[in-house]
Amino acid sequence: MKNQILIFTIFSFLLFSCSKTDLDRTIFIPDEDDPTLPAYTEWGYNSFGAEYERDYFLASQRIVPCKIMCENDRLRFSLNGTIRNNSEMSLEFIFPVTLMNEFTDLAQLNDVVIDLSSNDCTVKIWQGETEAVLEILDGKLHFKRIQLLHVDDKINRVIVSGIFELRFLQRGYPTTISNGRFDLGITNSVFYAQ
């Protein structure tokens, strides 16, 4: 309870005392069980993290943590960060959705669970300049909570929070990304619709 009050106080301070551009920064609140990972929050901290085998895939201050593109009836949800000595990595989930025209349409994802092993889902990974389409054994992407954040009585951003995990074949061996969590503030600057 004490941690929730502290998080609320920090968020309230940031929301009411900072400029709108400060809401775009990545804020890292350590998880109580594994302080290398960010805690699961629903405050729009522009943070994410996951265990990638014995390493960590994390949001970075120098990289925009998420970009979303809706093309026809497919959504591309990309988490962009670092792994191993700050080398860049992206994990992209592509799945079918009802057509979205603007970032506020992301609200339709509230409490939606995507089966990543489904034939109509694709997961890609970029490490440096290398791109690979993953052969998914099992996994899920759960958009646990979607919230509209109002600033000065206008919708400023959509807070997209959830969890993910997946197992896939890499060089013929099973590989795991686990304990994934994300808490992102999505605006028109990172949402694209075609």
Task: Tell me how far apart the alpha carbons of residues 102 and 120 are, in angstroms, rounded to a whole number.
Answer: 23
Which residue segment(s) compose the domain that 68 sits in? 22-193
Q: Looking at the domain assignment, is residue 7 inside a domain?
A: no
Average pLDDT over residues 41-70: 96
- CB-based contact 158:68 (threshold 8 Å): no
Q: What is the pTM of this model?
A: 0.87
Whole-number pLDDT of residue 2: 53
Q: Looking at the domain assignment, is residue 73 inside a domain?
A: yes
Q: Looking at the domain assignment, is residue 17 inside a domain?
A: no
Nearest residue to 116 via CA among 164, 183, 72, 53: 164
Task: Give 146-155 pLDDT, tens digit per residue.
Answer: 999 999 999 9
- CB-based contact 50:179 (threshold 8 Å): yes
Task: Give 153-168 pLDDT, tens digit per residue.
Answer: 999 999 999 999 999 9
- The percent of residues above 70 in pLDDT, for the chain, comes to 89
Whole-number pLDDT of residue 129: 85
pLDDT greater than 80 at residue 192? yes
Using DSSP's 3-state secondary structure scheme, residue 21 falls into: helix
Cα angle vertex 76, ends 74, 80, to 5°? Answer: 175
Q: Looking at the domain assignment, is residue 43 inside a domain?
A: yes
Q: Looking at the domain assignment, is residue 9 inside a domain?
A: no
Q: Considering its fold, how many domains does the chain have in total?
A: 1
Model confidence at 23, in pLDDT bands (50, 70, 90)? confident
Q: Looking at the domain assignment, is residue 130 inside a domain?
A: yes
Read off the tokens for 6: 């502290």
Q: Looking at the domain assignment, is residue 54 inside a domain?
A: yes
Q: Which letter does DSSP use for residue 187 in this model? A: -
pLDDT greater than 50 at residue 17? no
Chain centre distance of CA 59? 9
Average pLDDT over residues 15-36: 78
Q: Are strands 191-193 and 66-71 parallel, antiparallel or unpaired?
A: parallel
Q: Looking at the domain assignment, is residue 117 inside a domain?
A: yes
Model confidence at 97, in pLDDT bands (50, 70, 90)? very high
What is the rounded average pLDDT for all residues in the chain? 90
Model confidence at 9, in pLDDT bands (50, 70, 90)? very low
Whole-number pLDDT of residue 26: 95
